[in-house]
A and B are shown apart, each in its own frame.
Chain A
Amino acid sequence: MTAYLLKRRTTLAGYALAAPLLFAVAPAAMSDFRLEQLARYLCFAIVAVGISLAWGRGGMLVLGQGLFFGLGGYAMAMHMKLADAGAGNLPDFMLLYGSTDELPWWWEPFRSPAVALAAVVLLPMALAAAIGYAVFRRRVRGAYFAILSQALAAAFAILLIGQQATTGGTNGLTNFGGFFGFSLHDPVNRRMVYFIIAGTLLALMLLTRQLFLSRYGELLVAVRDSEERVRFLGYDPALVKLGAYTLSAGMAGLAGALFVPAVGIISPALVGIVPSIQFVIGAAIGGRASVAGAVLGAVAVAWAQTTLSEEFPAGWTYFQGGLFVVVVAFLPGGLASLWHLATRRRRSRAGETGRVVAAA
């Protein structure tokens, strides 16, 4: 029991430390440019929270989070494009390509800010629920599920590229002027976007952590470790998995939506196979089963990618691939499990037998 309280206290201390770092130190110490980069990394971290829920605790290797990230991102970008264009006008890129005279029907609802905000979360969640229900009910799992989810992300990217007249094609949607009435050319408003992202990330981390500690969290781990046994106990594993998968899709959608005002673009290059696997890489290196591990891993990998790939583009790819291979093959719990190993050793040396939550 003391071990549990101790763990609880260190986690709370971690959040107490992270909040002022994100909200006060970073905005004060960083230039506008660096802060925008940090905002980008934090968007990836929000996706990683969902991955640690679905994959780390639920055992579903979600290789297609780019699909949901893209859905959220495009929903937000469509609204911002329409708001920039003003009532009755077409978005600028449609005039540029000149292939449509009127707005496609599926663009129309995104004029309303309320619909767009709802769609950002509900669209990915609805799609994930439909896919998940179909797939989990028929007990498609493991590698089959991973490949299927990856194929869906690939198909979405192909579809976006193919429909250039209405989606912007390879270039995606870019050049945004305002975000719900606030001009994005104003640095103060761009800082606001950063604060929204940081706040969302912390809130989702706390929520997911609470979910891990709940009975549902226990059930999810049980399904991951032995689906058949849970089924024999009278639960429906498909529903348990569906919940985690749908939530992780919603988080990815929200991250995509926040990414658009922060970075100013959403394009097929951000939703296909490669970005989808990048999301997983961060979570895997940091530690898939722990929220903080996944988040720190995602931020670190994204940061290293920007910084190192500027100077050594080739070397970075080898390093990232190599680190990923070594961590997954020999340290499946990610770097976060080093922390658990260290605390366990210290405790066993002190002769105490504390229950250590193993990072599987």
Chain B
Amino acid sequence: MTVILTQAFTGVSIGAVLLLIALGLSLTFGQMGVINMAHGEFIMAGAYTVYMLQGPIHSAGFSLLVALPVAFAVAGAMGVLLEWLLIRRLYTRPLDTLLVTWGVSLMLQQLARDLFGAPNVHTEAPDWLSGRVTLIGGDDPLTLAHARLFILGLALAAVVALTLTLRLTPLGRRIRAVVQHRDLAEASGIPTARVDRVTFLIGSGLAGLAGVALTLVGPIGPTMGTNVIIDAFLVVVVGGIGQLKGAVIAAFALGVLQSVLEYSTTVSVARVVVLVAIVAFLQWRPQGIHTVRTRSLA
């Protein structure tokens, strides 16, 4: 029994990481249709923000909390710059956007190598995140790491905040209007170019938040973006575009699947099986879990 619960919780915490790294993408890719391969490097920028802030701020806990808004701002600024320089010229050519942003990601990785060195760097985890909560005691205990709970909380908070922003604020209304019908939104007086930029800012900023969270569970290095970007895209592809709901379900489903398979086989076999499962799933629902009905032929 405990084994199942442990696996389930490991799955949920893998899912929370997946959700955080994919949330920004589900906004930029899912809503705007922009394939930003440099998203992984925005995550990296968030992680290095924590590393940089631990120099001047000695308390590991305080620096982590400060890093959250700072990383959002840093990654968001990078996103806006990228959107303004390149992506806005390529809105009609999605595949070329993919390649262009991949070139940008190459350069950002090299920049990280030049600034921080090629080896991974380490950050201190705060004391209040290093312990574990014991849910079931006894011979076969079920314990949950504080860091994992923190990531889960952060992921859920980000989803709620993003949903509320999209549903309730004037900005969210404008974003949804542009996504649903760009021409009509423009005719109604919505400055679509500016809305695009703000959407991209939020999406990239969320990548920064994910980077902060990743410092708690993995190494920080120039290639960390490449390691997560594929998983992030797969979550969005499985989740289906246009709604956050699909991404949330997909992240947790893939997380649990991965953890269960890792338990019964090895990490590498589990990854391959998950991929095959995704291809099989797309046979059944090519548009992902959550589909938006349109009259397009695709």
B269: A residues at CB distance < 8 A: 159, 162
A145–B87 CA distance with the chains assembled, in angstroms: 20
Residue in A61, A150, A228, A320 whose CB lies within 8 Å of B230: A150
A277–B94 CA distance with the chains assembled, in angstroms: 17
User: Are A332 and B110 touching (Cβ within 8 A)?
Assistant: no
User: Are A320 and B106 touching (Cβ within 8 A)?
Assistant: yes
Q: How large is the interface on B (under 10, 10 to 19, 20 to 34, 35 or more residues)?
A: 35 or more
A328–B275 CA distance with the chains assembled, in angstroms: 29
User: Are A329 and B110 touching (Cβ within 8 A)?
Assistant: no
B89: A residues at CB distance < 8 A: 329
A232 nearest CB neighbor, chain B only: B297
User: Are B268 and A328 touching (Cβ within 8 A)?
Assistant: no
User: Are B268 and A325 touching (Cβ within 8 A)?
Assistant: no
User: Are B98 and A329 touching (Cβ within 8 A)?
Assistant: no
A143–B266 CA distance with the chains assembled, in angstroms: 30
Q: Which of B10-18, B42-50, B157-165, B279-287 contacts its partner?
A: B279-287
User: Are A140 and B110 touching (Cβ within 8 A)?
Assistant: no
In the assembled complex, the CB of A144 is this many whole angstroms from the nearest CB of chain B, namely: 6
Residue in A156, A280, A320 whose CB lies within 8 Å of B99: A280
B114 interfacial contact with A, CB 8 Å: yes
A274 interfacial contact with B, CB 8 Å: yes
User: Are A139 and B230 touching (Cβ within 8 A)?
Assistant: no
User: Are A228 and B237 touching (Cβ within 8 A)?
Assistant: no
A158 interfacial contact with B, CB 8 Å: yes
Q: Mark A250-286, 1 if CB is under 8 A from B, else 0.
A: 0000000000000000000000011001001100100
In the assembled complex, the CB of B75 is this many whole angstroms from the nearest CB of chain A, namely: 19
A322: B residues at CB distance < 8 A: 103, 107
A317–B90 CA distance with the chains assembled, in angstroms: 23
User: Are A314 and B114 touching (Cβ within 8 A)?
Assistant: yes
A156–B86 CA distance with the chains assembled, in angstroms: 32
In the assembled complex, the CB of B249 is this many whole angstroms from the nearest CB of chain A, namely: 18
Within 8 A of A (CB), among B226-266: 226, 230, 233-234, 237, 266
A281–B114 CA distance with the chains assembled, in angstroms: 23
B96 interfacial contact with A, CB 8 Å: yes
B171: A residues at CB distance < 8 A: none
- Seen from chain A, the residues whose Cβ lies within 8 Å of a Cβ on chain B are 61, 131, 134-135, 138-144, 146-148, 150-152, 154-156, 158-159, 161-163, 228, 273-274, 277, 280-281, 284, 314, 317-318, 320-322, 324-325, 328-329, 332
Question: Given known contacts A324-B99, A329-B86, what 18 new A-B pairs fall within 8 Å (CB)?
Answer: A61-B95, A134-B283, A138-B283, A142-B94, A143-B35, A143-B94, A147-B237, A148-B282, A151-B233, A151-B234, A163-B268, A277-B102, A320-B103, A321-B104, A324-B100, A325-B86, A325-B107, A332-B93
